[in-house]
């Protein structure tokens, strides 16, 4: 009986999203998670080791936050291996992976000759970039 069980290969193919697209998207997300996890973990351990007696109240009143897109400021802090900058870099990686997967989808829709869906997906990419680099600084 178990020999007749269906597998992932039993699923019918969507010409726009064949199994290779699922594999590629899953790989992108896995790499993103791994890189983020490593950066966040290293940054967190380094921050705790640097100041083991720090209290929550001092953390809430003193931790500097970097505005999104302040790459120069982030780079300067990374050069001196500031732990919170390492964590911030990890968060940036996750944001970049998220945008990349929407870009992938736009390309896949276009290749599948689904122009309407490609255009809609392209609009999402534009909106994300506008949100990060136009709306966010405006709000700031």
Residues 79 to 98: which contact another protein by CB under 8 A? 83-85, 87-88, 90-91, 94-95, 97-98
* Helix orientation angle between 83-111 and 19-50, rounded to the nearest 10 degrees: 170
55 binds another protein (CB under 8 A): yes
Q: Please, which of residues 27-46 interact with another protein by CB under 8 A?
A: 29-30, 32-33, 36-37, 40-41, 43-44
109 binds another protein (CB under 8 A): yes
Distance between CA atoms of residues 91 and 34, nearest Å: 12
- 49 neighbors 113 (Cβ within 8 angstroms): no
76 binds another protein (CB under 8 A): no
Minimum distance, C-beta of residue 59 to another protein, in the bound complex (Å)? 5
Q: What is the dihedral of CA 106, 111, 117, 122, to 10 degrees?
A: 30
Instruction: Look at the block and give the residue holding tokens 């990060």.
Output: 132
Q: Which of 3, 12, 20, 72 binds another protein (CB under 8 A)?
A: 12
């Amino acid at each position: 009986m178990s020999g007749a069980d269906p597998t992932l290969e039993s699923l019918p193919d969507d010409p726009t999203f064949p199994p290779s697209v699922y594999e590629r998207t899953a790989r992108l997300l896995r790499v993103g998670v791994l890189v983020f996890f490593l950066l966040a973990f290293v940054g967190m351990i380094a921050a705790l080791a640097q100041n083991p007696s720090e209290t929550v109240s001092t953390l809430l009143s003193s931790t500097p936050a970097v505005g999104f897109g302040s790459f120069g400021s982030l780079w300067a802090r990374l050069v001196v291996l500031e732990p919170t900058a390492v964590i911030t870099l990890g968060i940036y990686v996750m944001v970049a992976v998220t945008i990349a997967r929407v870009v992938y989808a736009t390309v896949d829709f276009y290749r599948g000759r689904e122009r309407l869906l490609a255009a809609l997906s392209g609009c999402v990419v534009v909106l994300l970039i506008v949100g990060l680099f136009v709306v966010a600084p405006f709000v700031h």
